[in-house]
């Protein structure tokens, strides 16, 4: 309301000044007084100078005012490895533009003041001036060359692709050099299809003729690489690991944009593009960074009980106006530590263990519940009566997942036992060291491939052995409370 009234006042005032000026001008023509005409010109040019000062001041003040929300300033520094370079280029461009902006505005209004109409003064006719033309061509071209070459160098560095033939490989979790995670984002009116490669680290092939209501990307089911690919609505990525996003579109132009990561690339139908970036700030650290800023210490719009910084999320948005539902193409991006990432991967892969008790020996063993794996491949064939071309591979895949779930079960059981034990007691330390021993087994179990069924089975057996040695050793100890669901044999 206040703003509307203010704006209205400004408009009325300007109309008033213009009308007064017009009336004076008309009066001077009627009176035919040249001196008065000079006075009017002086007044108008003076107003121009005043406007210039006010305008430049407003520009500077608004810039300072918006610093807390400007990219590359205040808390909004980039959260990816290449980001600071882009911020630097933006600021360098801003610096030169600011100088040109101020100088040209001063020149514009100063000239209207200095060369305002005066009686007896005639304008000078200047056909051209070579020195002047040289100056206004050479200075901008040097500055432009400097900016463009700097930008090109940064662009080439950022867009350096990972070639397959130089030992770069896409994996589920990069741990060595030349390893990266490849994910796929497909723009579609009006949502993003986000696909992860699963434990094999390879995105399966797709072909547009295969697209139907239950196969939105057109994945080809004869390709083994598709078996573990899963689709998500929220991007979760581990911190400090290189990510290559394969960007495609199903219908019209879209744009894959993660502001905080300084990632922006068109999604073009029929022409895959890509962007490589390494997130360097987890969502949690970003929130902590924002918590120090006064404008983030206010109640959150999405959750009254929380402060604004507590609900901050990185966001993937479509940055190409692609139709009337364009605004809905936004997904949350969460950057987490490696452990959390692996836990999340487990949830996406799915799978459920069922307990099997041998009726003779009463031995307990575990196996996977058929159809509990959650990848796109499994959910597709769960509801479709199409022939599954990879039936034998499917059972191997389920075996590998089963072995992981077994290791994971033992790991979590020991964790619970440690939780129940008194901190720093003998039992606690024993569980602690068992967990340390178990951790690499769990990690390996998460990354075994279909071709490594035997290895994954051995791995699970090792975990079982470790678990049994522990429970058998601790059973007689009285003060240990064994949780109800712990299985002993
Ligand atoms: Cu779009």
The CA radius of gyration of the chain, in Å to the nearest whole number, is: 34
Is 60 exceeded by the pLDDT of residue 475?
no
Is the CA virtual torsion 315, 316, 322, 323 positive or negative? Answer: negative
What's CA 350's distance to the chain center, in Å?
A: 25
User: Based on the number of CB atoms within 10 Å of its own CB, is 487 exposed (0-12), middle (13-18) or buried (19 or more)?
Assistant: middle
Q: Are 304 and 354 contained in the same domain? A: no
Query: Separation of 379 CA from ligand 1 center, angstroms?
Result: 27
Note the maximum CA span of the chain: 123
Report the alpha-carbon distance of residue 476 to residue 466 in Å, rounded: 17
Is 340 contained in some domain? yes
Report the alpha-carbon distance of residue 299 to residue 312 in Å, rounded: 12
Across residues 463-483, what is the average pLDDT?
65
Calculated CA dihedral for residues 449, 450, 451, 454, nearest 10 degrees? 90
Orientation angle between helical segments 376-383 and 391-420, nearest 10 degrees: 120
Percent above pLDDT 70 for the chain: 97
Give per-residue pLDDT as tens, 299-358: 888 888 888 899 999 999 999 999 999 999 999 999 999 989 999 998 888 888 888 887
Is 90 exceeded by the pLDDT of residue 53?
yes
Q: Are 290 and 411 contained in the same domain? A: no
Q: Are 327 and 370 contained in the same domain? A: no
Q: Are 31 and 111 contained in the same domain? A: yes
Report the alpha-carbon distance of residue 179 to residue 343 in Å, rounded: 20
Q: Convert 46-64 to b/e letters by CB count within 10 Å (16 or more is b).
A: eebeeebeeeeeeeeeeee
Which pairs with CB-CB distance under 8 Å and at least 24 residues apart come from 73-76? Answer: 74/293, 75/289, 75/290, 75/292, 75/293, 75/296, 76/260
Report the alpha-carbon distance of residue 309 to residue 298 in Å, rounded: 8
Is 463 contained in some domain? yes
Across residues 255-283, what is the average pLDDT?
93
452 HSE (CA, 13 A, CB side): 16
Orientation angle between helical segments 2-31 and 34-66, nearest 10 degrees: 160
Query: Separation of 198 CA from ligand 1 center, angstroms?
Result: 26
Is 80 exceeded by the pLDDT of residue 267?
yes
Query: Separation of 326 CA from ligand 1 center, angstroms?
Result: 5
Mean pLDDT for the chain overall: 86
Q: Are 72 and 220 contained in the same domain? A: no
Kind and range of the H or E run holding 364 = strand 364-368
Query: Separation of 50 CA from ligand 1 center, angstroms?
Result: 45
Is 85 contained in some domain? yes
| pTM listed for this prediction | 0.80
Final residue in a domain of this structure, among 328, 346, 364: 346
Query: Separation of 282 CA from ligand 1 center, angstroms?
Result: 26
Query: Separation of 342 CA from ligand 1 center, angstroms?
Result: 30
Give the pLDDT of residue 473: 58
Is 104 contained in some domain? yes
Q: Are 206 and 336 contained in the same domain? A: yes
Query: Separation of 315 CA from ligand 1 center, angstroms?
Result: 14
Is 126 contained in some domain? no
The SS3 assignment for 76 reads coil
Q: Are 312 and 461 contained in the same domain? A: no
Omega within 30 of 0 (cis) for the link into 190: yes
Report the alpha-carbon distance of residue 219 to residue 269 in Å, rounded: 16
Kind and range of the H or E run holding 420 = helix 391-420
Report the alpha-carbon distance of residue 283 to residue 25 in Å, rounded: 64
Is 409 contained in some domain? yes
Q: Are 394 and 302 contained in the same domain? A: no
Is 60 exceeded by the pLDDT of residue 485?
no
Q: Are 366 and 341 contained in the same domain? A: no
Query: Separation of 269 CA from ligand 1 center, angstroms?
Result: 12
> Most confidently modeled of 47-51, 66-70, 126-130?
47-51
Final residue in a domain of this structure, among 91, 119, 147: 119
Give per-residue pLDDT as tens, 413-459: 888 888 888 887 888 888 888 888 888 888 888 888 888 888 888 88
Give the pLDDT of residue 326: 93
End-to-end CA distance of the chain: 75
Is 60 exceeded by the pLDDT of residue 479?
no
Query: Separation of 329 CA from ligand 1 center, angstroms?
Result: 6
Is 421 contained in some domain? yes
Find the CATH number of the domain harbouring 178.
2.60.40.420
Q: Are 194 and 109 contained in the same domain? A: no
Pairing of β 364-368 and β 353-357? antiparallel
Q: What is the domain extent for residue 301?
A: 165-346
Query: Separation of 328 CA from ligand 1 center, angstroms?
Result: 8
Give per-residue pLDDT as tens, 133-174: 999 999 999 999 999 999 999 999 998 888 878 888 888 888
Give per-residue pLDDT as tens, 66-123: 888 888 888 888 999 999 999 999 999 999 999 999 999 999 999 999 988 888 888 8
Is 60 exceeded by the pLDDT of residue 481?
no
Residue 131: count of CB within 10 angstroms of its CB: 6
Query: Separation of 276 CA from ligand 1 center, angstroms?
Result: 20
Count the residues in the chain.
489
Q: Are 337 and 404 contained in the same domain? A: no
Query: Separation of 214 CA from ligand 1 center, angstroms?
Result: 21
Count of structural domains within the chain? 3
DSSP letter at 355 equals E
Q: Are 200 and 286 contained in the same domain? A: yes
Give the pLDDT of residue 370: 79
Query: Separation of 69 CA from ligand 1 center, angstroms?
Result: 24
């Amino acid at each position: 309301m206040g703003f509307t009234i203010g704006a209205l006042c400004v408009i009325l005032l300007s109309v008033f000044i213009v009308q007064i000026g017009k009336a004076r001008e008309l009066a001077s023509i009627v009176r035919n007084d040249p001196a008065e005409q000079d006075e009017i010109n002086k007044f108008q040019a003076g107003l121009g100078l005043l406007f210039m000062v006010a305008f430049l001041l407003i520009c500077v003040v608004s810039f300072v005012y918006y610093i807390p929300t400007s990219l590359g300033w205040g808390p909004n520094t980039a959260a990816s490895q290449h980001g600071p370079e882009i911020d630097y280029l933006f600021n360098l461009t801003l610096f030169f533009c600011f100088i040109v902006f101020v100088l040209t505005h001063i020149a514009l209004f100063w000239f209207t003041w200095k060369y305002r109409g005066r009686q007896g003064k005639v304008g000078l006719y200047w056909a051209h001036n070579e020195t002047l033309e040289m100056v206004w061509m050479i200075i901008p071209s040097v500055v432009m060359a400097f900016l463009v070459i700097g930008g090109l160098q940064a662009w080439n560095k950022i867009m350096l692709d990972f070639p397959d033939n130089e030992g770069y490989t896409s994996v589920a979790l990069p741990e060595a050099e030349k390893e990266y995670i490849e994910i796929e984002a497909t723009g579609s009116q009006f949502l993003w299809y986000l696909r992860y490669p699963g434990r094999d680290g390879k995105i399966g092939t797709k072909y547009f003729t295969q697209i139907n209501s239950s196969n939105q990307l057109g994945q080809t089911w004869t390709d083994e690489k598709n078996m573990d690919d899963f689709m998500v609505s929220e991007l979760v990525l581990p911190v400090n690991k290189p990510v290559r996003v394969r960007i495609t579109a199903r219908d019209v132009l879209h744009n894959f944009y993660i502001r905080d990561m300084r990632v922006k690339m068109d999604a073009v139908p029929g022409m895959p593009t890509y962007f490589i970036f390494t997130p360097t700030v987890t969502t949690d650290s970003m929130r902590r960074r924002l918590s120090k800023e006064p404008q983030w210490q206010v109640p959150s719009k999405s959750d009254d009980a929380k402060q604004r910084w507590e609900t901050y999320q990185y966001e993937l948005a479509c940055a190409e106006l692609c139709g009337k539902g364009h605004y809905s193409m936004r997904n949350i991006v969460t950057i987490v530590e490696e452990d959390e990432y692996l836990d999340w991967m487990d949830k996406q892969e799915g799978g459920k263990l069922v307990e099997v008790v041998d009726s003779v020996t009463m031995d307990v063993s575990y196996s996977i519940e058929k159809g509990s794996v959650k990848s796109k491949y499994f959910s597709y064939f769960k509801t479709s009566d199409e022939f599954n071309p990879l039936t034998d591979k499917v059972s191997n895949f389920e075996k590998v997942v089963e072995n992981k779930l077994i290791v994971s079960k033992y790991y979590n059981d020991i964790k619970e036992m440690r939780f129940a034990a008194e901190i720093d007691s003998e039992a606690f330390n024993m569980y602690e060291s068992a967990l340390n021993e178990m951790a690499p087994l769990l990690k390996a179990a998460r990354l075994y491939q279909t071709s490594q069924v035997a290895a994954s089975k051995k791995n699970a057996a090792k975990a079982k052995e470790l678990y049994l040695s522990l429970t058998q050793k601790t059973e007689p100890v009285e003060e240990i409370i064994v949780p109800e669901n712990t299985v002993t044999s």
